Amino acid sequence: MPYSELDILAFGAHPDDIELAIGGTIIKHVDKGYQVGVVDLTRGELGSRGDADTRSEEAAAAAKVMGINLRDKLELPDGFVEVNRENKLKVIEEIRRFRPKVILMPCETDRHPDHGNCGKLVRESCFLSGLKKIETGSQPHKPSQIFQYFLAWEYQFSFIIDVSREFARRLEAIKCYASQFHRENDETESQTLLSRPDFLDWIVNRARYYGNRIGVEYGEPFLSPGVMKASDLTKLKVGPFTT
């Protein structure tokens, strides 16, 4: 997967986080010709279903479906993603190596501690990455934008990306993680939130709800820590049900 400087770099705590939350947005920007990469902080080895090798193979297959330019992993311990100096230096070096304009990370209030800690670790590293006295081997780099995405329920979001055209491919990328989902006669396997027979329906219904909020079929929400700039009220695109 060739890359130069990336336009967008998305961090997830586990392989499958990106596909489950924002696969459509990733595919949309790849299709627009942007250089897009994904970094998984862990290999997901603590997951109740599937081992780390299986999940790595599934992640590679999903990366192919999404068409991303890079998929890297930091191999932090699954379940114990900590916001500490050592991990910040690893994330800073990723940011400096790939020099993205935009960085995506999970919302810090997510129910899974790894997701929330991934969000905090990456946000703090985005700031520190610009400081030249922190030496990691690569030149300092500060992204121009950071946005947060949601794995569990959101409480507040700033905008929704229309992923109607990309949604079928997002589902295809999600289904690459077959070890995580319900299969016929899998009663002997551990049961998780993802292995519930109705889990994919939940994914579809959520995306439909967000799409509905902006008057399209499917959507993915994001939170911006900064305020979006506007200069022409007549050109702002706001979803239906406001008047």
CB nearer to Zn ion: give 100 or 119.
119
Per-residue binding letters, 2-41, with Zn ion (x by CB under 5 A): -----------xx--x------------------------
Taking a C-beta distance cutoff of 8 angstroms, is the pair 28, 163 a contact? yes
Place of tokens 């997967």: 1
For the chain, count helices (H), then strands (E).
6, 7
Q: How far is the CB of 42 from Zn ion (least distance, A)?
A: 9
Query: Within positions 144 to 173, which residues make up the interface with Zn ion, using CB under 5 A?
Result: none
CB nearer to Zn ion: give 112 or 165.
112
Comparing C-alpha atoms, which of 97, 102, 192 is closest to residue 148?
102
The two beta strands, 36-42 and 8-12, are parallel
3-state SS, one letter per residue, for 54-68: HHHHHHHHHHHHHCC
Q: How far is the CB of 144 from Zn ion (least distance, A)?
A: 27
CB nearer to Zn ion: give 99 or 149.
149
CB nearer to Zn ion: give 40 or 162.
40
Q: How far is the CB of 145 from Zn ion (least distance, A)?
A: 23
The count of residues interacting with Zn ion (CB under 5 A) is: 3
CB nearer to Zn ion: give 203 or 216.
203
Q: How far is the CB of 120 from Zn ion (least distance, A)?
A: 15
Q: How far is the CB of 135 from Zn ion (least distance, A)?
A: 31
Using CB under 5 A as the binding rule, whether residue 220 contacts Zn ion is answered as no
CB nearer to Zn ion: give 5 or 53.
53
Q: How far is the CB of 21 from Zn ion (least distance, A)?
A: 9
| 96-132 residues labelled b (16+ CB within 10 A) or e (exposed) | bbbbbebbbbbbbbbebebbbbbbebbbebbebbeee
Taking a C-beta distance cutoff of 8 angstroms, is the pair 12, 119 a contact? no
Q: How far is CA 78 from the centre of its chain?
A: 16
Residues of the shown chain interacting with Zn ion in the complex, contacts defined by CB under 5 A: 13-14, 17
